[in-house]
Structure 1
Amino acid sequence: MKTHKILQAPIPMRWVGPMKLSGHLIEEKLSVPLATYETPLWPSVGRGARISTLCEEGIKVSVIDERMTRSILLEAEDAYAAHQAIQSLKARMDDLNEVVAKSSRFAKLIDINSQVVGNLIYLRLEFTTGDASGHNMVTNAADHLIPWILTEYPHLQYSSISGNYCSDKKATAVNGILGRGKYVVCEILIPRDIVERRLHSTPEKIVDLNIKKNLIGTMIAGGLRSANAHYANMLLAFYLATGQDAANIIEGSQGVVHADVRNGDLYFSCTLPNLIVGSVGNGKGIDFVEENLERLGCRDDREPGANARRLAAICGATVLCGELSLIAAQTNPGELMQSHLQMERK
């Protein structure tokens, strides 16, 4: 097979920050790399980052779940036979993990979700994958599991290694409900005077716009488990700078902004149930990616999975910074377009 030289495309990149992070994974100030052609993103995220340094706890980040999924598609004789096979498989997790262990020393099967459609069996296999995002790892594990399942259950037949119930790089309800990647929640409490002086808005205006724009606006547009202004902008810039599979911003951008007024101050949060990142694996061998991961502290000697969780926490905080800045800007007529005109047009 002919190999081709990998060219490093010159996507503009800048380090933005510092931002202040706290929580069970990280307690520090740091800057983040963002690679993008949308140059106003840098100062916008930068404004959110500056706000975080002025708040007592900064951005409090919680990673509350992690899993990577692959849904295999099998066929049974009929629906009841499919149901019986599923119940049997779910009772044999130890046996299944013995097979998984032969495919990888980091993959571990933690749950199985299923759907029966006629005689079709959709098995959503859910794994932890260490510091890798895990796409290839879970597919390899599934490739080991399928022949074992077909041997143990000879009345079943193979249909596909992926039945789209995973659901990879598609906007689906199942990912938001069951999770795919890291489930990250970022929160910040901003004093009223900082909202007024630095964001040129008020807590009430931001809460009101979040309801009318992110919640109601997305609902009437037919959004799917999503209520945010532009998660995808920050995700893509962060993904390109840290060697992630950029197509995963499709499910990654499904998330919810929640804002509230607390004792006169602004509570602002971003929930990202499908944040797919890894600190090792495909895409990480490029020089600038390695340098960025090292500078972010995601190449340190930690237990398997800890560097990836740290990276997810930093990515989620970056999303919050950009989301907060944009929502605040949109509470003021003309501010959004004026900033683009100043920064993008010469």
Structure 2
Amino acid sequence: MTDSDTDPTPEALAERVRAGEVRFHALEEHADPDTATAARRLLVEEQSGASLETVGEYAFDAAAADPNIENMIGAVQIPAGVVGPVTVDGGAASGNYYLPMATTEGALLASVNRGCSVIDRAGGATARVTTSGMTRAPVFRVDSVVEGEALASWVRDNGSTLKDAAEETTSHGELEAVKPYVVGDNVFLRFRYDTKDAMGMNMATIATQAACDVVEAETTASLVALSGNLCTDKKPAAINAVEGRGRSVTADVLIPRDVVEERLHTTPAAIAEVNTRKNLVGSAKAGSLGFNAHVANVVAAMFLATGQDAAQVVEGANAITTADVREEGLYASVSLASLEVGTVGGGTKLPTQAEGLDVLGVRGGGDPAGNNADALAECIAVGALAGELSLLSALASRHLSSAHESLGR
């Protein structure tokens, strides 16, 4: 901000944009972030004819959102609620938790809350993160498959060299593995990192660029793109279902038969049949990568409430639900193969999202590092399990439409 720009009003700043003196996207260079946001809002209202009065009412300094957005005009507010409390017996999460969720879908929290109640009546759910690692997969050009195989061999022989180069760029991330894939004159290298409590996409990208510089310096391969879509980020992909990305996490519960009958108004056998015919056979016939009822609902709502990257719901909903009849009652599980979450960085720094993390007690870095992100993943998995149980039982009892009708949705 220059001396001549000291304490401008939003109206004066907007007029300078109209006069061509200041660029629309550079308002923060001439005023504090809140004033710049207000000036931009005036210009958008003028051009569009829309009223942005409510968008302009937000409860944090615009400076707090500077790392998260450009051309800010305000904030979109999504109703936030909680379900639970629900008992989680996790490797990182342990205790009774209210699960924060933000959504515009009526009946969702009521449904998930019913599932949480049933889980608690059964003594709680168990959850474990089984694997973790953020991936980035650049694609290189080679002259032939012979050169491709040579590059793959070089990578296998020089893992420590690539590890040193990648880890020079970060004080937290650790390169765990590099797996080569040769496709004609293309070689994809799928780098996998332990990013601790960060979701880690930016960390992995920067570290991989450093490693790619070494590959180009030491081999005949040429880097074409830092992301070759074998990562795979923000797209449905079987590789994530098989090898995982972010956190692979599973939650399960054994519900006594009487609880199923009294609280879910159906039987273990009926729920298991719906799950098999709908989630497994139906999904297979559809060619779906998600073998579940509506895991995306819970993942999206908890992502929004805790500052996760909303676009990664695509991978986060890559889940399989199982349901089996046992002598004691109903065994049910949800396994999420590629849940990309973090408790530091990105949207987790925004004040309202940070409060969502506080509800779970997982804001910031964990002790040991990575523990908080693991706990968040386990809580999301238990929420997804509750949602699956509730929806499957509503279908089994044929109460789905009447439930929506009674809630006026």
TM-score by length of 2: 0.81
1:344 Cα deviation from its structure 2 partner? 3.4
Distance in 2 (alpha carbons) for counterparts of 1:302 and 1:284:
18
Aligned partners of 2:86 and 2:117 also within 8 Å: yes
Note the alpha carbon deviations across 1:193-246, whole angstroms, 9 max, x for none: 00000000100001111000001111111112x210001111110000000011
- Partner residue, 2:360: 296
1:342 Cα deviation from its structure 2 partner? 2.1
1:291 Cα deviation from its structure 2 partner? 1.1
- Partner residue, 1:19: 86
Q: 2:249 matched to 1:173?
A: no
Aligned partners of 1:251 and 1:274 also within 8 Å: yes
Distance in 2 (alpha carbons) for counterparts of 1:330 and 1:313:
26
Q: 2:301 matched to 1:237?
A: yes
What residue ranges of structure 2 are gaps of 5+ in the alignment?
Answer: 1-24, 29-70
Distance in 2 (alpha carbons) for counterparts of 1:205 and 1:272:
24
Kindly provide the amino acid, as one letter, of the partner of residue 394 in structure 2: A
Q: 2:219 matched to 1:138?
A: no
User: Structure 1's 186 and 50: CA in aligned 2 closer, same or farther, altered over 3 A?
Assistant: same
1:23 Cα deviation from its structure 2 partner? 3.1
Distance in 1 (alpha carbons) for counterparts of 2:401 and 2:162:
55
- Give the alignment of 1:231-310 within 5 angstroms: 231-299=295-363, 302-310=367-375
- Partner residue, 1:61: 127
1:114 Cα deviation from its structure 2 partner? 2.3
1:9 Cα deviation from its structure 2 partner? 1.3
For residue 347 of structure 2, give the secondary structure of its aligned residue in structure 1. coil
Distance in 2 (alpha carbons) for counterparts of 1:23 and 1:172:
27
Distance in 1 (alpha carbons) for counterparts of 2:74 and 2:174:
35
1:320 Cα deviation from its structure 2 partner? 0.5
Aligned partners of 2:197 and 2:343 also within 8 Å: yes
- Give the alignment of 1:82-101 within 5 angstroms: 82-101=148-167
- Partner residue, 2:10: none
- Partner residue, 1:35: 102
Distance in 1 (alpha carbons) for counterparts of 2:174 and 2:146:
29
For residue 283 of structure 1, give the secondary structure of its aligned residue in structure 2. helix
1:292 Cα deviation from its structure 2 partner? 1.3
1:69 Cα deviation from its structure 2 partner? 0.6
Aligned partners of 1:277 and 1:311 also within 8 Å: yes
Distance in 2 (alpha carbons) for counterparts of 1:109 and 1:6:
39
Note the alpha carbon deviations across 1:243-299, whole angstroms, 9 max, x for none: 001111111111111111111410000000101110011112211111111221102
For residue 152 of structure 2, give the secondary structure of its aligned residue in structure 1. helix
Percentage of matched positions with identical amino acids: 35
Distance in 2 (alpha carbons) for counterparts of 1:107 and 1:264:
44
- Partner residue, 2:396: 331
Aligned partners of 1:93 and 1:109 also within 8 Å: no
1:70 Cα deviation from its structure 2 partner? 0.5
Kindly provide the amino acid, as one letter, of the partner of residue 21 in structure 1: V
Distance in 2 (alpha carbons) for counterparts of 1:249 and 1:179:
14
Distance in 2 (alpha carbons) for counterparts of 1:252 and 1:211:
21
Distance in 2 (alpha carbons) for counterparts of 1:148 and 1:232:
39
Would you say how many aligned residue pairs link Structure 1 and Structure 2? 341
Q: What's the Cα RMSD here?
A: 1.3
1:119 Cα deviation from its structure 2 partner? 1.1
For residue 404 of structure 2, give the secondary structure of its aligned residue in structure 1. helix
1:24 Cα deviation from its structure 2 partner? 2.4
Aligned partners of 1:205 and 1:331 also within 8 Å: yes
